Amino acid sequence: MFKKLWCFVRHVSGDDAYEQYLKHHAEFHQATVDAPPALSRKEFFKLWQDSKWKGINRCC
Amino acid sequence: MNQHIKTVLWAAVALLGAFAVAGIALNRGESINALWLITAAVCIYAIAYRFYAAWIAAKVLVIDETRATPAERLDNGRDFVPTNKWVVFGHHFAAIAGPGPLIGPTLAAQFGYLPGTLWILIGAVLGGAVQDMVTLFFSTRRNGRSLGQMARDEIGLIGGSAALIGTFLIMIILIAVLGLVVVNAMKHSPWATSTVAATIPIAMIVGIYMRNIRPGRVLEASIIGVVLLLLSVGLGGWVDHHETLRPLFDHDGLPLAYAIIVYGFAAAVLPVWLLLAPRDYLSTFMKLGTILLLAIAIVILRPEIHMPAVTQFVDGTGPIFGGKLFPFVFITIACGAISGFHALIASGTTPKLLGNERDIRMIGYGGMLLESFVAIMAMIAATVLDPGVFFAINSPAGVVGKEAIDAVAKINSWGFAVTVEQMQQLASDMGESTLFSRTGGAPSLAVGMASIFGSAFGKELLALWYHFAIMFEAIFILTTLDAGTRVGRFMLQDLLGNFNKKLGETSYTPSVILTSSIVVAGWGYFLYIGVIDPNGGVNILWPLFGIANQMLAAIALCVATGILVKSGKLKYAWVTGLPLVWLVTITTSAAYEKIFSTDVRVGFFASANDMSSKLAAGLLPADKASVAPQLIFNQHLDAYLTLFFIVVLWVVILDMLRLCLRYLSGKPVLQLSEVPHEPSRLVENWVRD
């Protein structure tokens, strides 16, 4: 129960975004031969944060 | 049997809701408990969500659970990601709920608790939530396109450009008015100023932690940040009593406004990870925590509402802002009832995260209901104060006079009891030197919240609660200010890119500095005028913002109505058409009043003419005469700006009507830009499992 809640909080806050990305990467890019290697945690976080703040995402 | 229980249950909710609404609407003379407002709101939201929203989803939009969403089709693990619906709900709500639903109801409480409350409930259920939901749906069916792009694709170039210009101008005015609210909260309050100042280095520490020390550890960093923020509230109290530090943070409005302008420029130029992103995390946590705490406190405490249901100010003589109940209550409360800005969010990040179309009702409609509930709580926080105290805090010095004794006499003459001693006691309880004429809504909301928190969780900490509430408001006002300036910069760079390719590059330093300066100068000007205006500035800027925001909502509803008609759903077009007609009515009549009214407290031209004749006759005192030329110029500018908004709105409406008429008479129109159906693999997997 507590563990589930903790996972949820991590998910909502984006704390586990990198783990999610690794999962996505493994699922979608493993099959291709010339797949690009997964980004490091630091590189991924940079891209993730920058793309998050490109458009309008805060309101009145 | 199960079906019968459900029917009985919903009938009970409907009955309770009707009873609560009747209770608050028909009650006269006696004070009423805040719990009735909460009950009425929750019942209305439940019924609307269960029946109206479900009907719109099933019959009008025809939501298709088996259709792949853009998040699934274009999944790239970064911005297009199928996400758990509660997570998307959290993101969407954090994005739409800013300071608007807190400030609007506070100002509109001058009409009494009833008009604002009814508009918040009815406006949200039939207007705002519908707008958010249909915009989210249409954007999801168009690969997450923005409102501006949808307007261009579906209505035409004119609609698209209008949406773009509207967004830009709204941003400028919104930032100015929010800046003014923060300035008024910090004016001659070393405690508030030092606490707000401390949030900047705290955000930077959090930013560096997340980016470099422990990359991506968002939760750890946020917890550190929240603890530091709470400490900074306490530290502010220490600064307030410190002889050498205190004068460093004790300032007039103007220097504070300059500080905010410099800060806004820095925030737009600095990389997002250093200031904007970490501050946003902190403000989201603070926002959710504080709103939850306020809801719990109201339920525990069940405070009595002291404001009358309707005050005499419905006749247009209100001290906080001039103008009659119709149309000004509908302009003053934008966020919380219907807000055009939401359409930008619902056509921005949110559709790119949706895992399945069936979540649209919960996220679009439900998200807005929650925001509306925040507005109801702000209304409660404003109306639990003694009306005399409420008016003493919120009436500008230009209306009630600069001296405490004059202000009290004036407010007593309206029939609201308040004394100088009472205000002094309150100010010293809250750790402020004075609470007279602290316009903008933030201080009165903070006093309301502090008294609710104080009664529920301990009275001796009133001053801490007050400054906690100020910090809470300031932190997400500043987030909106940073984010808005940045978005304005991007929009301007996009536009300039059409003329000069180099200027369109978002990382080209001269372009960054040029566009940021233009945006900051735009809102900085309105902020400056607002600060030097003896009537407080909010009374001019807030209605202007309301008109702009409702105009954007009308454009969003125009796009939605146009799409509905073009999809052959004319018989359902009233779902968006009805709120559209209402919005056009209120924005047009409010704009008409603001331009042509002969009441100097309502009409821009009337006020400008009045001031120039007084200036020419030498009737103004020296301090007012020195700023009068600037104020006169500004009133003219505001009048033309309002005129511009209303012209843009009508151009879009006529363009939409032209499109509908062409379609209905069988002539060719722009094709629907909906992406073709593709079955969802996620649903298949789910079914097979």
CA nearest A12 in B: which residue? B87
- Give the closest of B334, B349, B549 to A57, CB-based: B349
Residues B238 and B234: their CA atoms lie apart, in Å, by 7
Residue type, B566: K
- Whether A50 and chain B come into contact, CB under 8 Å, resolves to yes
**From residue B398, how far is each of B117, B217, B395, B413, B464 by CA, in Å?**
28, 50, 8, 16, 30
Tell whether B351 lies on the interface with A, counting CB pairs under 8 A.
no
Q: Give me the residues of B, 527-546, that contact A with CB < 8 A.
A: 545
pLDDT of B685 above 80: no
- Model confidence band, residue B689 (pLDDT cutoffs 50, 70, 90): very low
The whole domain housing B116 covers 2-188+251-679
Would B458 be classed as within a structural domain? yes
How far is the alpha carbon of A6 from chain B, nearest alpha carbon, in Å? 11
Nearest residue to B274 (alpha-carbon basis) of A12, A39, A56, A46: A46
Mean pLDDT of chain B: 92
What residues of A are in contact with residue B218 (Cβ under 8 Å)? 13-15, 17
Strand-pair partners of B354: B83
Quickly list H helices, B395-461: 397-400, 404-413, 420-429, 442-457
- Give B-chain residues touching A51 at CB under 8 angstroms: 78-79
pLDDT value, residue A30: 66
On the question of pLDDT at B657 being above 90, the answer is yes
> Quick one: pLDDT at residue A58?
79
A25–B345 C-beta distance less than 8 A: no
The type of residue at B197 is A
The H-or-E segment that residue B163 falls in is helix B157-186
Report DSSP state, residue B305: E
CB–CB of B566/B663 below 8 Å? yes
Residues B95, B287: Cα–Cα separation, whole Å = 11
Distance CA B560, CA B211 (A): 40
Residue B549 is assigned to a structural domain of this protein:
yes
Token pair for B54: 């479900």
Going from the C-alpha of B115 to that of each of B179, B192, B210, B635, the distances in angstroms are: 27, 32, 45, 28
Beta carbons of B224 and B206 less than 8 angstroms apart: yes
pLDDT of the residue at A31: 59
Q: Which two tokens stand for residue A56?
A: 């309008």
Residue B27 is classified by DSSP as -
- Is residue B585 within 8 A of residue B206, CB to CB? The reply is no
Phi, psi (degrees; rounded to nearest 5) at B529: -60, -40
Chain B: give the shortest CA distance to residue A44, in Å: 8
B334 touches chain A (CB under 8 A): yes
DSSP string, A7-19: HHHHHHHTTTHHH
The full DSSP string for B98-109 is SSHHHHHHHHHG
Kindly state whether residue B520 falls inside one of the protein's structural domains.
Answer: yes
Q: Is A25 part of the contact surface with chain B (CB cutoff 8 Å)?
A: yes
Q: Which residues of A touch B139 (CB under 8 A)?
A: none
Chain B partners within 8 Å of A46 (Cβ): 211, 273
Residue B394, Cβ density class (10 Å: 0-12 exposed, 13-18 middle, ≥19 buried): buried
Which two structure tokens, joined as six digits, stand for B76? 């790239």
Residue at B17: amino acid letter: G
Least CA distance to A17: which residue of chain B?
Answer: B216
- Interface confidence (ipTM) of the complex: 0.88
The verdict on A10 touching B (C-beta cutoff 8 Å) is yes
pTM score, two decimals? 0.94
Residue A54 Cα, gap to closest chain B Cα (Å): 8
| Cβ-based contacts of B174 with chain A (< 8 Å) | 60
The residue-averaged pLDDT of B458-485 equals 89
Residue A9 near chain B (CB below 8 Å): yes
Q: Tell me, what CATH number does B547's domain have?
A: 1.20.1740.10
Q: Which residues of B touch A49 (CB under 8 A)?
A: 210-211, 272-273, 277
Number of structural domains found in chain B? 1
In a domain, B425, yes or no: yes
Q: Across the interface, do A55 and B100 touch by the CB < 8 Å criterion?
A: no
Interior/surface letters B297-318, b for 16+ CB within 10 angstroms, e for the rest: bbeebebebbbbbebebbebeb
Give B340's pLDDT tier (boundaries 50, 70, 90).
Answer: very high
- Considering only CB atoms, B98 lies closest to which of A9, A54, A59, namely A59
The runs of H, that is alpha helices, within B442-537 are: 442-457, 462-496, 509-532
User: Is residue B531, in this structure, part of any structural domain at all?
Assistant: yes
With a pLDDT cut of 70, the percent of chain B lying above it is: 99
Q: pLDDT digit string (tens) for B99-145?
A: 999 999 999 999 999 999 999 999 999 999 999 999 999 999 999 99
Cβ of residue A29 closer than 8 Å to a chain B Cβ:
no
Instruction: Classify residue B228: in a domain, yes or no.
Output: no
Helix (H) or strand (E) holding B261: helix B253-269
Q: B281 near B91, Cβ under 8 Å?
A: no
- Distance, in Å, from the CA atom of B166 to the CA atom of B210, rounded to the nearest integer, reads 35
- φ and ψ at residue B67, rounded to 5 degrees: -90, 135
- What distances in angstroms separate CA B682 from CA B27, B89, B139, one per listed residue? 53, 19, 20
Residue A14 to chain B, least CA–CA distance (Å): 7
pLDDT band at B688 (very low <50, low <70, confident <90, very high): very low
Chain B interface includes A36 (CB < 8 A)? no
- Residue B199 falls inside a structural domain: no
Residue B28 predicted with pLDDT over 80: no
Residue B234 lies in a domain: no
Q: Does B483 touch chain A (CB under 8 A)?
A: yes
